């Protein structure tokens, strides 16, 4: 059964290579997309922290997105 699954009557090399390429590419793209998102979140929070407390308060009051990014970033780190 295991042998059959691995070798697939001689077609195993083609089938497994195709699946491996697909899932490896998908994993790399997922990893890179997540990294970029985290990088932007980090930069955004850093710039938000650099604002004066008055400005920061105004931004957080007016922007749901800013407060959401800040809270999820604080949860993560």
Partner 1 sequence: MFKFFNNSNVFIWIEKIIKFINSIFFVLLLTALSFALILSPPDYLQGDSVRIMYVHVPAAWIGLASFTCIALLSILNFIFKIKNFTLITKSIAPIGLMFTCIAIVTGSIWGQPTWGTFWVWDARITSMVILSLFYIVFIVTHKLVSDNEKANKISSLVAAVGLINIPIIKFSVDWWATLHQPASIKISGSSTIHTSMLVPLLLMFFVLILYCALIFLMKYKTEIIRIKKKNLNRL
The answer to whether 51 and 59 are in contact (CB under 8 A) is: yes
Terminal Cα distance for the chain, rounded: 46
Which DSSP state fits 58? H
**What x-and-dash track marks residues 40-69 binding partner 1 by CB under 8 A?**
xx-xx--xx--x---x---x---xxxx-xx
Residue 71 found at the interface with partner 1 (CB under 8 A): no
Report the interface residues with partner 1, using CB under 8 A: 5, 8-12, 14-15, 17-19, 21-22, 25-26, 29-30, 33-34, 36-37, 40-41, 43-44, 47-48, 51, 55, 59, 63-66, 68-69, 72
């Amino acid at each position: 059964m295991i042998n059959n699954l691995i070798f697939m009557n001689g077609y195993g090399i083609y089938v497994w290579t195709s699946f491996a390429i697909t899932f490896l590419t998908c994993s790399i793209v997922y990893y890179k997309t997540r990294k970029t998102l985290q990088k932007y979140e980090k930069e955004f929070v850093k710039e938000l922290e650099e604002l004066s407390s008055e400005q920061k308060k105004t931004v957080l009051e007016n922007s749901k997105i800013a407060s959401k990014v800040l809270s999820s970033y604080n949860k993560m780190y």
